[in-house]
Each structure stands twice: as C-alpha cells, then as structure tokens.
Structure 1
Amino acid sequence: MSLLTSLTYVLPHRLLSSLARRLAYSTSPGVKQWLIDTVVRKFNVDLAEAAEPDPRAYPSFNAFFTRALKPGARVPDADPSALLMPADGHISQCGAIVDGRIFQAKGQSFTAEELLGDEAAAEPFRNGLYATVYLSPRDYHRVHMPWGGKLRETVHVPGRLFSVGTAAVAHVPRLFARNERLVCHFDTDFGPMASVMVGALLVSGVETVWSGEEIPRYGDAITVKDYRGEDIALDRFDEMARFNYGSTVIILLPPGVAELDPGLKAESPVRLGQVLARLVR
C-alpha cells in the first residue's frame, strides 16, 4: 500500500475537502488562475473542446472544472438500443453483479446493498450489471444519462472521502461503499437503473440538474428525497449531475436487459456517449 493511501486512513477528510472547496470557489484572480493553469499543465487538459477555451475567462476554479463542452464535442452513439457511457474517464471495473456483490479490484468487493444503502433497493440488481467509471482531473466533469428515465428518488449516504485513485481502489476495502455518495434511482422502460455519484478526497461537491448542490451537506444519517410526484424525466444523453472535483460514477442495471459492450475492460479509456451496453430485449 502506498504512503498516500495509508495516510488517507488518518487524514481529516471533511476538513481537507472543505478547504479545497473554499479554494475551488475563490474568485481571487491569483488563486483561481494558479489552480487552473496548474491543472491544465499537469493533466494536459484539452480546452479546445470546451465551450469556453480561454482558461482566463473562468471566474473560479470550480467554474473551470465543471466547464461545458462545445456543441458536438460529444455525441450519443447512433444505435437506438445502446445504453451510453455516462462520462469521460476510464473504466475502473465493469461486469456482472454476482449474487449481489460488485467487484472492486483483486481481492476487493462490496455489496450492492452497501453501495445503495438499502437492502430492498439493491435486490433488483442482485445478478445484474455494473460499470464503474473513474473521472480524472483532466476529464469533462458532467455526468449524463445512459438511458432515458424518470427520477424516483435520491439517497445521500454520508461516509468517508478516500481517494478513488488506482492505488486506493486496490487496497482500501469496500472503498466505493464507504465514501460519501449520492444514489440516484431512475425508473426506465426496462426497469430500475441506478446512477451513483461517489465522492472522494478533495471533492468539493456533487450537483444535480434537478435540485442543485447535494454534496457537501455533510451529515451522519442517510437522507432520502422522494421525487415520485414531481415528474422529473431525463432523456438518454441528457446531463444529470456534475462533480466539483474528479471522482467516480457507478451505473447499476438489472439482470437480463442488456449486455455490456465486449470491448470494455478495466483501465479502458472511455468517452461520454460511446456504447456502455446494448439492450437484449
């Protein structure tokens, strides 16, 4: 285990993330420009595809980090049976959920119940499919819909804020089921679909298109918001949420409705809109 991964067990996660949030939202020209220029240089960010390609035009680091793309920079796959990749990044892992368990890394797994924070909500996914997509600091940080659906509820699950980098994923047991996360449940024409926005060390927040900021709102109890009566429907490829710093999104699908694209494997680079899976109905 790396020194940094070992340190994340003892670091004050929420304090560090709160400080990172203050820096991310700072409008001080010197502070925000230093942060933007550092990330662009260190992670080779391609601003040519951004709606605003001028790095000095952003009022804060967070505005830069959650930047929109120019029209046409990402397009949904033309196959109408294709469920779409929800974000830019890399596949951490993907595959079958085996009797309720989700593979994290060699020797590491967690249950869908732990991830979703609810036994009943996890049951429809017991032998379904999952895909874990890691967004690095260079990536576009908005998450889109793999398939059209109506929002049923969200579940804010408080937790730790471990790094979600490769070393931490390999060594921190049940990492994605321990980190703070926002579970978004959708009803679709093939059944339930879950999109789980997982926070991480220095992640300053998660925002959704229907209610704005959801994390941080640090707490110690699970918070459920019921949206059944609000008729919030999102189409395939619509934006649904964004990270205010890089992290991970996990998609859960029920069994028997789709097959993952055979070209996907751990560490595969992926782009928003490409094929995640295809319906088999």
Structure 2
Amino acid sequence: MLLDYLKSWPLYVLPHHAVSRMVFRLTRVQCPRVVPAAIRLFAKIFKVNLAEAEYTNPEDYQTFNQFFTRSLKAGVRTIQGGEKHLVSPVDGRISQVGKIENGRIFQAKGHEYSALELLGGDAERAKPFMNGQFMTIYLSPRDYHRIHMPVSGQLIEQVYIPGRLFSVAGHTVRTVPRLFARNERVVALFETNHGLMAMVLVGAINVAAIETVWAGLITPPTKPSVQTQTFDAVHLEQGAEMGRFNMGSTVILLFANPNLTWTKISQADQALQLGQLLAQFN
C-alpha cells in the first residue's frame, strides 16, 4: 500500500491537462518513419493483439492515435445479450461492481464517492440512481478503446464535467479519494426498456480526449464549467458503438433499476471482452 501512495503522490503536482495536451498532439503526428516503429514497440510492451484489428500492419496507420482507436475485424467479438441482458460495453477489467447504497458508490477499500458528484452535482439527475446498481470497468493501454452500448437505449442527455486528470490505474484507485468524481468526464444518460442508465466516460492523464458518435470530439478543449445537452433523436441498439477514448481510461455504468442479477464473471478484477454477458434484468 505504501508503494501505491508513493506512485500516486507525484500526480497531485503534475500539470495534468498540459501533459495530456502534449500527448494529444504527439499521437496525431504523421511520420511514416516513426509511427509504425512506435506502434510495434507499444504493441510489444503492452502485448496488444494486432491480429484482432481490422488493419494488422502498423504501416496502415498514419498516426499513433489511429492505431490506438483502431477498429476490430468483423466477427472477433460476439454480442451475447438480448432484450433482458446486459453485455460488456468494452474490452477491459472490472474494477468494482455492486449496489449503489443511498447514493454511495464503492471505489476501493476505504474509498467511496457519491452518484450526485459523479453525475455533475444535479440532484434530479442523480435521484433515480440512489439505490440502483453500478459497474466500473478499467481499460488498459492494450485494450480496444471503442465503447459500445451494453443495452439498447434512447439518449436523453449528455453532460460534460470538468476536472483533474489523475491516472485511473489500480494504485490511484486505491489511494486517491473520490477519484472518478474528481476527474474530467462525460456522462451519457439513456432511457432503456429497463429504466435509466448512465454511461460515464472518465478521462485520465494522457487520455483527456473523449468522443461520442453523436457529438464527435467533446474534450479537448477543456470547458470551465458543466455543459449539458439534451437529445430526442439518438437511439442506439445493443452492441452499437457509442464513443471512444483516445488512450485508456474507465467506463462507469449506473443503473436506476435495482433488479439486476449479475453473472458469475461480474466480479472485481475479472477481465472482460466487448459483448460478454454481464447480467440479466429481472
């Protein structure tokens, strides 16, 4: 635990946004000599399975970010759900899962945060989730970084919330209080056949670039205050792409419906693939 604190402490003084903007620019540089070599090195270090990508040759990517947000080959992921099922929206690893108790969400041993602050401080927005359920999924650098719908839904609101850009790796989750409620994030609120669902896309250092299919690039630039948009014509089916991270981060799913039965794989530290069955709505 002491090592976790030693690794996390420098993040408090780092200029999160300045570092992340530099990474944003570097990952979009077009250089035929450097980009393929950087991709090969990254893939080797983080054990990226390029065989699953639509384009398997590093020379096929003009920028590092194109590689990082790569698409997958058709058929390499299967959506295992149906009308009453919830599936994984990403490739990643479960950080935590369970009940939201009186609006409190478990982060790690000794740490929790509120649905109210996670969703931007609006009591009416948070109210339906006060005793619902949640799942937090971490995307590592090796993972596929597009985000898909875990269940079909009608988008009703998008909320941008400014904040810090702490790392969301395990050592910071275990040591930085209220981490996910402090970082910059985008909330997408959906009406589904099973009640309200919030998909919270949490930014992190070196990430800080979040896109959705209906709005494009949301951040950067960083906005000075909470920004809210409402929608009435965006419906996405289960398994459809809804957004992407430019570099790795975390997705938090919130459900107003408490009648959700999790499968055996839905437990902390479990690796996931996009489309894998997570739960059933009762």
Question: TM-score, normalised on structure 2?
Answer: 0.96
Deviates most, 33-42 or 49-58: 33-42
The 5-angstrom pairing of residues 177-256 of structure 1 reads 177-228=181-232, 231-256=233-258
The 5-angstrom pairing of residues 44-83 of structure 1 reads 44-83=47-86
Contact residue 183 and residue 195 of structure 1 kept, 8 A? yes
Q: Are 2:154 and 1:150 aligned?
A: yes
Deviates most, 268-277 or 173-182: 268-277
1:119 is displaced (CA, Å) by: 1.6
The 5-angstrom pairing of residues 51-200 of structure 1 reads 51-117=54-120, 118-200=122-204
1:204 is displaced (CA, Å) by: 4.0
Which runs of no fewer than 5 residues in structure 2 stay unpaired? none
1:215 is displaced (CA, Å) by: 1.3
Q: Which amino acid aligns with 2:188?
A: C
Q: Which amino acid aligns with 1:176?
A: F
Contact residue 100 and residue 113 of structure 1 kept, 8 A? yes
Q: Which amino acid aligns with 1:149?
A: G
Contact residue 23 and residue 32 of structure 1 kept, 8 A? no
1:79 is displaced (CA, Å) by: 4.6
CA distance in structure 2 between the partners assigned to 1:27 and 1:53 by the alignment: 18
Contact residue 20 and residue 207 of structure 2 kept, 8 A? yes
Which runs of no fewer than 5 residues in structure 1 stay unpaired? none
Q: Which amino acid aligns with 1:191?
A: G
Q: Deviations over 1:70-119 (max 9, x none)?
A: 00011111554211111001001011101100000000000000100122
Contact residue 104 and residue 115 of structure 2 kept, 8 A? yes
CA distance in structure 2 between the partners assigned to 1:168 and 1:238 by the alignment: 31
CA distance in structure 2 between the partners assigned to 1:250 and 1:47 by the alignment: 26
CA distance in structure 2 between the partners assigned to 1:232 and 1:208 by the alignment: 12
Contact residue 20 and residue 204 of structure 1 kept, 8 A? no
Q: Which amino acid aligns with 1:85?
A: S
> Identity of aligned pairs, percent?
46
Contact residue 265 and residue 278 of structure 2 kept, 8 A? no
- What is the root-mean-square deviation in Å for CA atoms of aligned residues? 1.2
CA distance in structure 1 between the partners assigned to 2:176 and 2:202 by the alignment: 15
Contact residue 194 and residue 257 of structure 2 kept, 8 A? no
Tell me, what secondary structure is at the counterpart of 2:33?
A: helix
Number of aligned residue pairs: 278
CA distance in structure 2 between the partners assigned to 1:149 and 1:257 by the alignment: 18
1:123 is displaced (CA, Å) by: 0.8
Contact residue 23 and residue 31 of structure 1 kept, 8 A? no
Q: Deviations over 1:215-261 (max 9, x none)?
A: 11202200001113xx1100011000000000000000113342222
